[in-house]
Amino acid sequence: MGNSSRKYSSRVVDGPTRAPARAMLRATGFTDGDFHKPQVGIASTWSNLTPCNMHINGLAEEAARGADGAGGKSVIFNTITISDGIANGTEGMKYSLVSREIIADSIEAVAGCEGFDGLVAIGGCDKNMPGCLIGLARLNRPAVFVYGGTITPGDNHTDIISVFEAVGSHAKGDMTAIEVKRIEETAIPGPGSCGGMYTANTMASAIEVMGMSLPGSSAQNATSDTKLRDCRQAGEAVLRLLKHNIRPSDIMTRPAFENAITLVIALGGSTNAVLHLLAMAHAVGVELSLDDFTRLGKRVPVLADLRPSGHYMMSELVAIGGILPLMKTLLDAGLLQGDCLTVTGKTLAENLAGVNPYPPGQNIIRPLANPIKPDSHLRILYGNLAPGGAVAKITGKEGLSFTGPARVFDSEEETLARILDGSVQKGDVVVIRYEGPKGGPGMREMLSPTSAIMGRGLGKGVALITDGRFSGGSHGFVVGHITPEARQGGPLAIVEDGDVITIDAEHNRLELDLTDSVITGRLARWQPPEPRYRRGVLAKYARAVGPASQGAVTDAQEDGN
């Protein structure tokens, strides 16, 4: 392919002075001919610690075969993964968002060191995907992202959220320990990412419509021939991108991010998409803010009846055509920008030209004329309790406003215990603070408390607000990402039991019913708690991380933000 496709690898392996490098690579299987081929790094997030990623090694090998068959030389390397589903509700969950940065850093470090000309990144669990995209954006070398695929449902249409909510049902007395164990044993039948429109499927869909995955990649079952073909074609696609020098910065443009926001809303996707899209935009130098979600949300309806707020699972959407027909519907309605370039080398509109509509009679995706909600379920709230903004996930099923007395807790564990023992009552606004990016540190997901609320039958009777965040599986009247966070002296730090809080998703307000002078007086007396960690990765993260309203990135100092 010539040196134009070997911009980086040629510096590593060409010429007499690079003989030591070639000697090392020969031991890994390189031949004379391989040194003249573009090198394609295959970033695998394989790990046997979670079903989301347990099959990805095989997918990486398939992507490598595709790259090799198209004239490249593939090199598979690994990066880490953690499991939110395993760690949720424990101190270990503080490492979850941290892992997004580690994944991005490791992909950047390996590719930058080894001189890969192009990349395929394969992710399965929540943080894998934005972590991979942030790494690819920083490197800005021809690249394709591949989603590991969705899991199939467990017995009786169950999934991981069914297990979390069973814990709350057991605490209420509606389910026996034996019934909980039966769900535990059957809800996760094999490989693949959690089955609803939770964070993994949300981010995979966003990345596809953004143009960084091949068409169809986000809506495929993890263990399918379709997914294997997707991986092989991704390896081939990188060679075409190298030939035409198409890089992530050519694809991940502001219009592409607006397309991602639009599709996330239409799918009823996770609040984590706000955090991750802001961070991905930062990595590629695109201006994106919380207010863009509000602006686009005024005209984009929720159309997908998918879990957690809806009924169906991703595998059932896969069976009727995935997200491509939905994308075509949105494009035809003028809600997507079709001139955005994608990893196929074609525009989004060109990719969707031959897509057929959903089969008649399906109930998973509503028509535009009959939406589940006429505007976005992702609400960006401001007010005296969130001067820098907060992110709410309000579908309307629990109502559009909530006012009640605060029940204040300084950790997730304390909150969960009080929900399970019945201390939290109907009408309460549960406040969980000191769980933000710096305060946690790590901005834990509040899946255990929200699931316990649902399991106890309080989904319409209790609201929950936090400077932490939520799993894509959380539902109910929930508000997260409150900025400034409590650890930084945000108003959340001075809320007391009994203070009246109002969440208004119609006017996008989050208000504490106290006068400005009372709030100012309490803040003057407030003292920040001691840091929870003084050494190690969590301490380092707490020092470096920025606010949730800007994506909780760790390299903002580079551009002065």
Q: How confident is the model at residue 556 (pLDDT cuts 50, 70, 90)?
A: confident
Share of the chain above pLDDT 90, in %: 93
What mean pLDDT is predicted for residues 28-50? 97
Q: Would you say residue 515 lies in a domain?
A: yes
The residue type at 53: N
Query: Are the C-beta atoms of 230 and 294 separated by less than 8 Å?
Result: no
What mean pLDDT is predicted for residues 282-308? 98
Q: Would you say residue 371 lies in a domain?
A: no
Cα–Cα nearest to 506, from 406, 391, 381: 381
State pLDDT tens for residues 114-149: 999 999 999 998 899 999 999 999 999 999 999 999
Q: Find the domain containing 507 and state its range.
A: 378-559
Residues 79 and 143 in one domain: yes
Task: Supply the DSSP string of 158-193, one letter for each residue.
Answer: B-HHHHHHHHHHHHHTSS-HHHHHHHHHHS--SSSB
CATH number at residue 91: 3.40.50.2300
Burial 50-71 (b: 16+ CB within 10 A, else e): bbbbbbbbbbbbbbbbbbbebe
Cα–Cα nearest to 451, from 113, 95, 196, 79: 196
Catalytic residue positions, numbered:
471
| Number of domains forming the structure of the chain | 3
Residues 225 and 289 in one domain: yes
Residues 173 and 118 in one domain: no
Strand-pair partners of 39? 73
Q: What are phi and psi of 403, to 5 degrees?
A: -130, 135
Residues in the chain: 561
Residues 447 and 496 in one domain: yes
Q: pTM for the whole thing?
A: 0.97
Q: Which residues are documented as binding site for Mg(2+)?
A: 84, 126-127, 445
Return the HEC string of 447-475. Answer: HHHHHHHHHCCCCCCCEEEECCECCCCCC
pLDDT of residue 478: 94
Cα separation of 453 and 422, whole Å?
A: 10
Cα–Cα nearest to 122, from 69, 62, 71: 62
Least confident of 219-228, 247-256, 290-299, 455-464: 455-464
Helices 290-297, 272-284: inter-axial angle, 10-degree rounding: 120
Q: Would you say residue 30 lies in a domain?
A: no
pLDDT of residue 398: 77
Burial 366-402 (b: 16+ CB within 10 A, else e): beeeeebbebbbbbbbbbebbebbbbbbbbeebeeeb
State pLDDT tens for residues 159-194: 999 999 999 899 889 999 999 999 999 999 999 999
The Cα-based distances of 267 to 56, 302, 309, 352 in angstroms read: 25, 6, 11, 18
pLDDT of residue 406 exceeding 80: yes
Residues 506 and 469 in one domain: yes
What mean pLDDT is predicted for residues 229-252? 98
CB-based contacts of 250: which residues, under 8 Å, 6+ apart? Answer: 341
Dihedral-angle region of residue 498 (phi above 0 means left; psi in -120 to 50 means alpha; beta otherwise): left
pLDDT of residue 96 exceeding 60: yes
What mean pLDDT is predicted for residues 358-385? 97
Residues 203 and 160 in one domain: no
Q: Would you say residue 33 lies in a domain?
A: no
Q: How confident is the model at residue 86 (pLDDT cuts 50, 70, 90)?
A: very high
Residues 59 and 172 in one domain: no
Query: Are the C-beta atoms of 271 and 393 separated by less than 8 Å?
Result: yes
CB-based contacts of 140: which residues, under 8 Å, 6+ apart? Answer: 247, 248, 249, 284
pLDDT of residue 397: 80
Q: Would you say residue 418 lies in a domain?
A: yes
Q: How confident is the model at residue 39 (pLDDT cuts 50, 70, 90)?
A: very high
Cα–Cα nearest to 94, from 410, 532, 519, 535: 532
Q: Which residues are documented as binding site?
A: 52, 84, 126-127, 445
Q: How confident is the model at residue 154 (pLDDT cuts 50, 70, 90)?
A: very high
